[in-house]
Structure 1
Amino acid sequence: MDVPFLYRQLSYVALNVSDLSRSTSFYSDLLGLELSAEQVGESSALRCDSHAASLLLYQADEPGLRRVAFQLASSADLAAAATHFEARGYEIWPIPSEELPFLRVAGGFRLYEPTTRVTFEYFASVMDLGKAYQPTVANIQRLGHVVLRVVDLDGCWEVLERDFGLLSSDFVEDKAVWARCYPNPFHHSLALVKSPENGLHHVNFMVTEIDDIGRARNRLMDAGVDIVFGPGRHKPSGSVFLYFLDPDGMTAEFSFGMEEFPAENAREPRMLENSSTTMDLWGGKPKPTFSSAGVIAGKDR
């Protein structure tokens, strides 16, 4: 890792949605995230841990990925990251002051990465709410990861490894890279999948019990939600998974279990076979609508 800052975690993912009320109900009532703040008709914040938000939803004309936010290890790391990105030639800009009360972070910055076309946000301090997150229909542990569809897999990964300091955990040549944000131990917080066009692949939420996967399948099917892949088990992370479509056709995932890496002497990334069994050791196949919807919104000022 050649960047001068340390990560803490993937903090939140922001999505644009076509019907804010409908999507807020889907993620809260059917998935079990807790609504923690809202700007009526404009945006909703939902959480699945002690922090103020794990998922942000924004009313927009076109559904897709608005931005990806990482919490860094300290304010010193935040300052070092800002200096680092500027030295690499990135334009960075502060999180707008009018957004801070809704985001409940103590300042930070954003930058646009042109190969993935994603706006990334960085901050060090985020509000821990006084009341603990209360699971309802699912025992969600945390926001797990976000995966991007990218045209230029090699170019995107070169940038994210060199400039953003992400570490490869596993890869499939000319197909996918799963990456962690050091020293966070989880197998991946962000991944890339080669695709004919850039876009959102999926957003993941980790659950604490394997039974939550089965219960979610039945609950979602009863509600008419399209299950597009799974239940199954991924080879890269070892996770048991279930993929389904949100009201805009964007793919979300529940998963249970994930490989964790030590901070020192971690194993080398594995080169995995480009095969269906790499994606599902149980032999399942995704539907054509799997991970097919959600544009990248571009520069988010």
Structure 2
Amino acid sequence: MTNRLLTHLRHVDLAVPDYDKQLDFYAGVWGLTKVAEDSGISFLAAEGSPEQYIVRLRKAEEKRLDLISYGAANPADVDTLAEQLLAGGVQLISQPGKVDTPGGGYGFRFFDIDGRTIEVSADVEARRHRRIEEKESIPVRLSHVVLNSPNINATRAWYEQHLDFRLSDTMALPHMGEAMHFMRISNQHHSMAIASGPHTSLQHLSFEMRGIDEYMRGSGRVMRSGARKIWGPGRHMAGDNTFMYFLDPHGNTVEYTTELEKLDEDTWHPHIYDLTKPENADQWGTSNPMNEMVAKEMLNDVDRGVFVAPPV
């Protein structure tokens, strides 16, 4: 694929058994705004984002990742992508057509190499959003998503071949090889990262805050709520962004971040960072060490949605 057809990350959709508890967390403690709800499905927006919603929650018997949604510039690009994926042997879940969620639009769904449901859409009506004010400690937008894969190099190659993601940086361990690939679809250092793990699962969702002060104030609010903090505060080397990681009520890892690097795509060359050097995980040295306990939490549960499309 020579022409990049994806523009940005739109939203991530989660299914959970304890829907009310999950909704209370995201629409309360975490700082998102519920914009619509119907029969066990809720749509949550970030006040600083033009996206109609950045998280969808669905009540289900089993916890799973329902889908990850990306934007395209126009319906013609959606059609082009669908044709290219079909020609490349990718399994489509639906054909391009009307999107029946807040904001409407035109899109389709398909499975990635690991069986996750991916949605691409265009012509979604922009939500009326606003500037986040100083000391207002709520997310501005969805920053990125990180996925666990049992074969990160195959997953990386699939996203490069079919969706024109490009490699920004890699984290590695000398005795194990590549541990994480940071992938981009714009000058943002990464919209997605692929982490090595024993099974397919969601590693974490990251939400951008207005600045360092808002990031710390928001983190304090989440800590006071009783939610479990697993790693942070710190500043990563790859992406140069701040981090603070928590667990949501169903054990999904969620992150507050700021200042993710914007790079010059024409001149950028990927780095390989050695994870045995603590400064490559946290430049500041202020976080608790990345250890087996933190890594285990981020492996998450086996995703029950692999090659099973969500019902809505």
TM-score normalised by the chain length of structure 2: 0.87
Change (3 A) 1:195 1:294: same
Q: Is the 8 A contact 1:141 1:208 kept in 2?
A: yes
1:251 is matched with which residue?
A: 253
In structure 2, do the counterparts of structure 1 residues 131 and 213 end up closer, same or farther at CA, with 3 Å as the change threshold? closer
How far, CA to CA, are the matches of 1:253 and 1:131 in structure 2? Answer: 22
Correspondence for 2:194: 192
- Is contact 1:110-1:121 (8 Å) kept? yes
Q: Whole-Å Cα distance in 2 between the matches of residues 294 and 211 of structure 1?
A: 33
TM (norm. structure 1) is 0.90
Shift of 1:95: 6.9
How far 1:53 moved relative to its partner?
Answer: 0.9
Give the Cα separation in 2 of the matches to 1:204 and 1:32: 13
5+ unaligned residues in a row in structure 1: which ranges?
none
Native 8 Å contact 1:44 1:56 kept in 2? yes
Q: Does 1:52 align with 2:59?
A: no
Output aligned runs, 1:156-235, within 5 Å.
Answer: 156-173=155-172, 174-181=178-185, 184-235=186-237
1:217-262 deviation digits (Å, cap 9, x = unpaired):
2212211110000000000011111000100011000001111123
Alpha-carbon separation, structure 1, partners of 2:8 and 2:32: 18
Q: How far apart, CA to CA, are the structure 1 residues paired with 2:101 and 2:80? A: 25
Residue in structure 1 matching 2:298, options 291, 294, 298: 291
Change (3 A) 1:202 1:213: same
Instruction: Please tell me whether the aligned partners of residues 13 and 66 of structure 2 are also in contact (alpha carbons under 8 angstroms).
Output: yes
Measured at CA, do residues 216 and 291 of structure 1 come closer, stay the same or move farther in structure 2, by a change above 3 Å? same
Higher mean C-alpha deviation, range 59-68 or range 160-169: 59-68
Aligned partner (choices 233, 236, 239) of residue 237 of structure 1: 239
Which residue is equivalent to 1:152?
151
Tell me how far 1:132 sits from its aligned partner. 4.3
Alpha carbons 1:110, 1:119 under 8 Å: kept: yes
| Aligned equivalents of 1:203, 1:141: Cα separation in 2 | 14
Residues 132/38 of structure 1: CA separation in 2 closer, same or farther (3 Å cut) = farther
1:293 CA displacement: 2.1
CA contact (8 A) 1:34 1:134 kept: no
Quick check: 2-11 or 120-129, which moved more?
Answer: 2-11
* 8 A Cα contact 2:247 2:254, kept in partner: yes
Q: What's the offset of the Cα at 1:104?
A: 2.7
Contact 1:171-1:269 within 8 A present in 2 as well: yes
Check 1:220–1:130 CA distance in 2 against 1; reply closer, same or farther (3 A cut): closer
Deviations 1:116-166 (A, max 9, x none): 221110111112134648779624221011101111111111111112210
In the alignment, what sits opposite 2:275? 274
- Contact 2:245–2:253 (8 Å) recurs in 1: yes
Query: Which residue type is aligned with residue 118 of structure 2?
Result: F
CA distance in 2, matches of 1:96, 1:39: 24
Q: Secondary structure at the match of 2:309?
A: coil
Give runs of aligned pairs for residues 1-150 of structure 1, distance below 5 A. 2-40=1-39, 42-48=40-46, 49-94=49-94, 100-114=99-113, 116-130=114-128, 132=130, 138-150=137-149
Q: Does 20-29 or 268-277 show the bigger shift?
A: 268-277
AA aligned opposite 2:79: A
Instruction: Name whichever of 105-114 and 144-153 sits farther off.
Output: 105-114
Task: Please state whether the residue corresponding to 1:175 is helix, strand or coil.
Answer: strand
Superposed CA offset, 1:7-57 (max 9, x none)? 2110011111222221111111111111111113x2110111122111111
- Name the SS of the counterpart of 1:267 in structure 2: coil
| Structure 2 partner of 1:261 | 263
Give the 3 Å change call, closer, same or farther, for CA 96–109 of structure 1 in structure 2: closer
Q: CA RMSD in A?
A: 2.2
